[in-house]
Amino acid sequence: MVVRFGVIGLGDFGERHVQALRAIRDVEVVAVCSRSRNRAEEVARLYGVKKWYTDREKIVRDEEIDAVTVATADDDHVEPVILAAEAGKPILLEKPIATTLEDADVIISAVKRHGVIFMVGHVLRFDRRYRLLKKMREEGETGKIGSMYARRLGRRRAADIYLNRVSPPVQTGVHDIDIMRWICGREVSQVSGFAARRLNYRFPDVFWTIMKFTDNELGIVENGFLLSDNYPHFIDSMFSLISEKITAHIHTPGEFFTVYGTRGVDKPDVTYWPRMDGYAEGALRDELDYFAKCVITGEQPQLIPIEDAKRALEIALKAMESAEKGATMTL
């Protein structure tokens, strides 16, 4: 069986979806959709996709499409998901599930009411390094976890894209909030948030989320958009885990692969979506491949339960509330 996909939302990440889907066996991208006619035509022409749309309802009603991925803006997830659910189409939605708990509940209600296969794309769960840490914890190789620390910082030009629409803990922090819960296997009981503002946006450009888990594990997530635009990678990120038996560090994709050229220093991504011959490989492809297999088998994805996606959002929002109120929040 070939799973025929439509891709809704054609910003940078929507285009990566097209690249990654094209690299998967028994998957075909048959249509793309953007509210911009020029962008829809451009992506369709660039990747040889035979159909393009500017109307979201038309793409989800296309009988040639078996499933859709939604990579619209963070605060624009509700409409495309509801339309796809009403059309009975399986949906992979880019993280975060939404930017408010109310919107998350609307999305969850729609996919459950219509019984469609649904998954939120928390791509770190497909990164083999994090998967190995989880396996080690489950098999007792870590012993009790003491603390986890994650940093995920973006360039300043990305602040223009995000910080008037969505806060750092919701936009990027949910990656690491989710992965800490997943690896630790515990629930967050308390959360504190701390914000600093150096740029003039609706949301703070520097943010720290500090979590306490139910067995007294600690988790710290640092997010922001203050990196120089000349920084040689699209993010600066790392993850550390300290436990009774091990100390583990995960560094930015490309951290140990550096290219010095006429245009300066570059650290190409070799983990999440490295582009090879027009296709995207890595964790994003693995995530979409897993989802496509769920569509074929008709089974709901088990690797990223919908409740986990909502919980990560809830913790991120509690961190923002904590920063605003200057108080620790209980979950």
pLDDT at 266: 73
Look at phi and psi of residue 26 and say left if phi exceeds 0, alpha if psi is from -120 to 50, else beta. Answer: left
Q: Looking at residue 173, what DSSP letter applies?
A: I
Place of tokens 């699209």: 234
pLDDT tens readout for residues 117-148: 999 999 999 999 999 999 999 999 999 999 99
pLDDT at 70: 98
Q: Which residues pair with 147 in a beta bridge?
A: 218, 242
Omega within 30 of 0 (cis) for the link into 96: yes
Q: Looking at residue 144, what DSSP letter applies?
A: S
Cβ contact 107:98 at 8 Å: yes
pLDDT at 254: 62
Q: Which sequence spans correspond to the domains of the chain?
A: 3-116, 125-272+312-330
β-bridge pairing 206-213 and 218-227: antiparallel
Q: Distance between CA 199 and CA 97 in Å, rounded?
A: 27
Question: Does pLDDT of 233 surpass 90?
Answer: no
DSSP of 170-205: IIIIHHHHHHHHHHH---EEEEEEEEE--S-SSS-S
Cβ contact 36:52 at 8 Å: no
pLDDT tier for residue 189 given thresholds of 50, 70 and 90 = very high
Tokens describing residue 241: 């885990």
Computed over every residue of the chain, the mean pLDDT equals: 94
Tokens describing residue 39: 């962008």
pLDDT tens readout for residues 73-122: 999 999 999 999 999 999 999 999 999 999 999 999 999 999 999 999 99
Place of tokens 């635009």: 229
pLDDT tens readout for residues 35-45: 999 999 999 99
Fold held by 125-272+312-330: Dihydrodipicolinate Reductase; domain 2 (3.30.360)
| pLDDT (average), residues 262-268 | 75
Q: Distance between CA 126 and CA 119 in Å, rounded?
A: 13
pLDDT at 255: 63
pLDDT at 20: 96
pLDDT tier for residue 168 given thresholds of 50, 70 and 90 = very high
Angle between helices 78-86 and 101-114 (to 10 degrees): 10
Cβ contact 161:205 at 8 Å: no
| pLDDT (average), residues 193-209 | 96
pLDDT at 276: 66
Q: Distance between CA 322 and CA 331 in Å, rounded?
A: 12
| pLDDT (average), residues 261-288 | 78
Question: Does pLDDT of 292 surpass 90?
Answer: yes
Q: Distance between CA 177 and CA 315 in Å, rounded?
A: 8
pLDDT tens readout for residues 236-255: 899 999 999 999 999 876 66
| pLDDT (average), residues 263-271 | 75
Q: Looking at residue 226, what DSSP letter applies?
A: E
pLDDT tens readout for residues 44-63: 999 999 999 999 999 999 99
Question: Does pLDDT of 284 surpass 90?
Answer: yes
pLDDT tier for residue 198 given thresholds of 50, 70 and 90 = very high
Question: What superfamily does domain 3-116 belong to in CATH?
Answer: NAD(P)-binding Rossmann-like Domain (3.40.50.720)
